[in-house]
Amino acid sequence: MSGQSAPRRTVLKGAVLAGAAGLGVAACSTESKLGHAKPLPSTPVNLGTADAVPVGSAKLYREQRIIVSCPAEGKYTAFSAQCTHAGCVLDKIVEGEGNCPCHGSRFDVTTGEVLQGPATVPLPAIPVRAEGGELITGTGTGKDAGAASEGPNA
């Protein structure tokens, strides 16, 4: 009898571990679906004063899921702040790199390029312009949106 219970315990342990692993995958999948459910803004979004993004810097607008950088006076580029790996929103910018808190991907905030995986696809560019001293972004902002307007959605 005791010879049979040991293998059975092993099988049960394996089933419990497999179940736990399955829950982890399910949670990650749910997160991914939620993350990808938010499209890029299709209508103009006013991000507030352009002075909030000084020359040579970038700012994360986490609520709007947008990163804006200012590489030169009067020139702005914007990208989705939603990670291309599984859809998490980037949580901070450190030394020009946008950080994804979920699995550690990092992106160049001036180009959107992947600097560190697991993400392999750059952040999508979003048109942006300064109008009346305010930053307006979104795919409906017009054709004079600078380099960002040449992104995949342009």
Nearer to ligand FES, 99 or 137 (CB): 99
Considering only residues 112 to 151 of the shown chain, the ones binding ligand FES according to CB under 6 A are 118-119
Where does this chain touch ligand FES (CB under 6 A) — which range of 19-27, 47-55, 63-71, 85-93?
85-93
CA distance 118 to 45: 30
Q: Is 105 buried (19+), middle (13-18) or exposed (0-12) by CB count in 10 A?
A: buried
Query: Should residue 88 be labelled a site residue for ligand FES when binding is judged by CB under 6 A?
Result: yes
Q: Report the alpha-carbon distance of residue 13 to residue 19 in Å, rounded.
A: 10
Residue 138 · residue 127 · CB < 8 Å: yes
Question: Of 75, 103, 111, 115, which one interacts with ligand FES (CB under 6 A)?
Answer: 103
Interacting residues with ligand FES (CB under 6 A): 83, 85-88, 100, 102-105, 118-119
